Structure formats: C-alpha cells, structure tokens
Structure 1
Amino acid sequence: MPLSPEVLSSNSEAVAWLRAFDLSLEPDDEPWFSVDGVEKPRQIGSDGAGGAFVLLPSQNVLYVSSGGRAGIIAGTFEAFVQLVVACPYWLDILKFSAGGDLVEMRRAAMALEATLDDEDDINGARDGVRAALDLSELDDPVGALYDAVAASDTIVRATDGSPFTTLFNRFSVDSNPMLRDAAA
C-alpha cells in the first residue's frame, strides 16, 4: 500500500521521528496562498519556517515558503517523505543551487551533509522513520528534487494575487564560507 498522509499520521512512532526533520503534519487552518487550478489546496503539513506542504490532486507535493517561493518537490507523498528523510536540508540545497544547477545542488548536498549538527540524532531519526514505515531509500534524492522543481509549472499566488517565484535560488556553495570549506 502506498504511503499516504493518513497512513503516516496513524503511525505515531514515525510522526515523532519526523519532528527531527522539521516536519509537522499539522497544517495551518487559514489559507495564506492559492494554487491556480486547485479550488481548495490540501495542506498536509508545515515546517518551522512557516512553509506549507500541499498534496495536489495530481498527488505531487508542493512546497510553499513563507518567503514567496513555491514549487513541486516530489511526485508522490512517499517520495516526499523519502526526500525529507534523505536530505533534511533539501530547502538549503535549493537555496544554494546557483539558479537550478544540478551539479551545484549535489555539491551543496555533500557540504550540508558534512556540516549536520547532531549527525547521530539525524541518522537515528532516518533509521527510525524508515523502519517505522518500511520505507526504502531514494536512489538519487538530489536528482529527484531537481527533476521535480525543474518540471514544476504550478502557479502559487499570495493573497494579493502576486505569483510566487521558483524554489531555485541564485546562491552557490561558494556564497557561504562554511559550506565552501566543507565542500573543499
């Protein structure tokens, strides 16, 4: 049976482990954005920065940041959970993507993994989620993230009607001294 928000929510052990990845399965009550072509976006969770995760009718998972960026990040809910577990810093990979360069994204992922705080805690949470959900690992989580964001044509709008921008950001690993040193 494919992983769904309902299946995940009913697994209290997995839900507890996912907190280590800054993922809450409690959506906001008040919508603060709209999605073109979707009457009532189904928010399935949020992160600590105020971003929202939305399960679209196509089963794609959309991320809407509180900073005005949005895009598809996974093709299914299960792929979304696999991504979050493999790359808890997935949003930073996009921040340091040099405008959507896959090679730079892979470089960012390696540097971010090397700089993880509480690496043992994260690895324990990874193992805990995978065991609780019998979840496999993605072969190429960074490639899957790139493919999802690059193909994203979903338009998200703020309450004033202005469109959100892409999740790819212009920064590179070299823009951040800590990441630059970790990538060296």
Structure 2
Amino acid sequence: MPLSPEVLTARGDVVARLGGFDISFAPDEEPWFTIDGIESPRQVGGDGAGGAFVLLPSQDVLYVSSEGRAGIIAESFEAFVQLVVARPYWLDILKFSAGGDLSEMRRAADALEATLENEDEVNEAREDIRKSLALPEPDDPIGALYEAVAASDAIVRATDGSPFTTLFNRFSIDNSPLLRNAAA
C-alpha cells in the first residue's frame, strides 16, 4: 500500500520523528495562496518557516514557501517523505542550486550533509522512519528533486494575485563560507 497522509498521520511516533526534520502534518486552516486550476488545494502539512505542502490531484506534492516561491518537489506523497528523510535540508539544496543546476545541487547536498549537527541522531531518525514505514531509500533524491522542480507547471498565486517564482534560487555553495569550506 503506498504511503498516504492518512497512513502517516496514524503513526504518531513517525510524525514526531519527522517533526525533527522541521515537517508538520497539521495544515493551516486559512488559505494564503491559490493554485490556478485547483479549486480547493489539499494542504497536508507545513514547515517551521511557514511553508505549506499540498497534495495535488495528480498526487504530486507542491511546496509553497512563505517567501513567494513554489514548485512541485515530489511525484507522490511517498516520494516526498523519502526526500525529507534522505535530505532533510532539501530546501537549502534548492537555495544553493545556482538557478537550477543539478551539479550545484549535488555539491550543495554533499556540503550540507557534511555540516549536519547531531549526525548520529539524524541517521538514527532516518533509519527509524524508514523501518517504521517500510520505506525504501530513494535511488537519487537530488535528481528526483531537480526533475520535479524543473518540470513543475503549477501556478501558485498570493492572495493579491501575484504569481510565485520557482524554488530554484540563484545562490551556490560558493556564496556561503560554511558550505564552501565543508565542500573543500
């Protein structure tokens, strides 16, 4: 059975562990964005920065940031959870993607992994979540994230009607001394 929001939220222990990766499965009550062509978006969760995760009718997972960026990040709810577990800093990978360059995203992922605080705790949480959900480790989470964002065609708008921009940001790890040093 594929992983769904209902199956996941029934597992309080796993939801609590995912909370350590800055993911909440309590959606906002008030909509603060619209998606062209979708009458009632199904928000399935959010993050500590005020972003929202939306399960689209296509079963893709859309991320809407509180800073006016949005895009599809996974082809299914299960792929979304796999991404979060494999790369809990997935949003930073996009921040340091140099405008959507896959090789820069891979560099960022390596540097971010090298800077993890409490690496043993993160790896233990990863293992526990995968085991609890019988969730396989994704083959290429960075490649899948790149493909999803690059192919994203959802148009998200703020309440004033202005469109959100892509999740790819222009920075590279060379813009961050911490990440630049971690990659060296």
- Place the TM-score, normalised by the shorter chain, in its bin: over 0.9
- Counterpart of 1:20 in structure 2 is 20
Q: Does structure 1 residue 75 correspond to structure 2 residue 75?
A: yes
- The Cα of 1:3 is off from its aligned counterpart by 0.3
Q: Does structure 1 residue 102 correspond to structure 2 residue 134?
A: no
- Say which SS state the counterpart of residue 21 (structure 1) adopts: coil
- The Cα of 1:172 is off from its aligned counterpart by 0.3
Number of aligned residue pairs: give it.
184
Structure 2 residue runs of 5 or longer lacking an equivalent are none
Provide the C-alpha distance between the structure 2 equivalents of 1:128 and 1:40, rounded to a whole number of angstroms. 34
Provide the C-alpha distance between the structure 2 equivalents of 1:121 and 1:163, rounded to a whole number of angstroms. 39
Counterpart mapping for 1:116-155 below 5 A: 116-155=116-155
Provide the C-alpha distance between the structure 1 equivalents of 2:52 and 2:70, rounded to a whole number of angstroms. 9
- The Cα of 1:140 is off from its aligned counterpart by 0.3
- Counterpart of 1:174 in structure 2 is 174
- Say which SS state the counterpart of residue 80 (structure 1) adopts: helix
Provide the C-alpha distance between the structure 1 equivalents of 2:143 and 2:174, rounded to a whole number of angstroms. 20
- Say which SS state the counterpart of residue 16 (structure 1) adopts: helix
- The Cα of 1:41 is off from its aligned counterpart by 0.4
- Say which SS state the counterpart of residue 34 (structure 2) adopts: strand
Residue identity in the other structure for 2:78? E
Q: Deviations over 1:2-30 (max 9, x none)?
A: 00000000111211110111000000000
- Say which SS state the counterpart of residue 23 (structure 2) adopts: coil
Q: Does structure 1 residue 44 correspond to structure 2 residue 44?
A: yes
- The Cα of 1:128 is off from its aligned counterpart by 1.1
Provide the C-alpha distance between the structure 1 equivalents of 2:183 and 2:150, rounded to a whole number of angstroms. 24
- The Cα of 1:169 is off from its aligned counterpart by 0.1
- The Cα of 1:118 is off from its aligned counterpart by 1.1
Provide the C-alpha distance between the structure 1 equivalents of 2:34 and 2:67, rounded to a whole number of angstroms. 15
Structure 1 residue runs of 5 or longer lacking an equivalent are none
Provide the C-alpha distance between the structure 1 equivalents of 2:93 and 2:146, rounded to a whole number of angstroms. 10
- The Cα of 1:86 is off from its aligned counterpart by 0.3
- Say which SS state the counterpart of residue 72 (structure 2) adopts: strand
- Counterpart of 1:59 in structure 2 is 59
TM-score where L is the length of structure 2: 0.99
- The Cα of 1:121 is off from its aligned counterpart by 1.3
Runs of 4+ displaced beyond 4 Å: none
